[in-house]
Amino acid sequence: MPTIAVVDYDMGNLHSACKGLENAGATPKITDSPTELDLADAIVLPGVGSFDPAVQHLRSRHLEAPIKRAIASGKPFLGICLGLQILFESSEEGKEPGLGIIAGTVKRFHHEPGITIPHMGWNQLELTQPNSPLWQQLPADPWLYFVHSYYVDPSDPAVRAATITHGSQTVTAAIEQDNLMAVQFHPEKSSTSGLQILANFVRSAVSGQRSAVSLKN
Domains of the chain: 3-207 (3.40.50.880)
Whole-number Å distance between alpha carbons of 176 and 162: 9
> Quick check: is 62 catalytic?
no
Of these residues, 18, 119, 176, 188, which one is catalytic? 188
Q: What is the pLDDT of residues 129-181, one digit of tens each?
A: 999 999 999 998 999 999 999 999 999 999 999 999 999 999 999 999 999 99
Would you say 122 and 174 are in contact if contact means Cβ atoms under 8 Å apart?
Answer: no
Q: What is the pLDDT of residues 2-29, one digit of tens each?
A: 899 999 998 877 888 899 899 888 999 9
Would you say 198 and 46 are in contact if contact means Cβ atoms under 8 Å apart?
Answer: no
Would you say 61 and 104 are in contact if contact means Cβ atoms under 8 Å apart?
Answer: no
Of these residues, 57, 119, 166, 186, which one is catalytic? 186
Of these residues, 81, 148, 166, 176, which one is catalytic? 81
List Cα–Cα distances, 106 to 33, 90, 110, 170, 171, in angstroms. 27, 6, 13, 14, 11
> Quick check: is 111 catalytic?
no
Residues 6+ away with beta carbon under 8 Å from 62: 34
At 213 the three-state DSSP class reads: coil
Q: Is the pTM of this model over 0.85?
A: yes
Question: Mean pLDDT over residues 73-100, rounded?
Answer: 97
Angle formed by the axes of helices 14-23 and 191-207, nearest 10°: 70
φ/ψ (deg, to 5) at 211:
-55, 140
The residue type found at 172 is T
> Quick check: is 18 catalytic?
no
pLDDT reported for residue 206 = 83
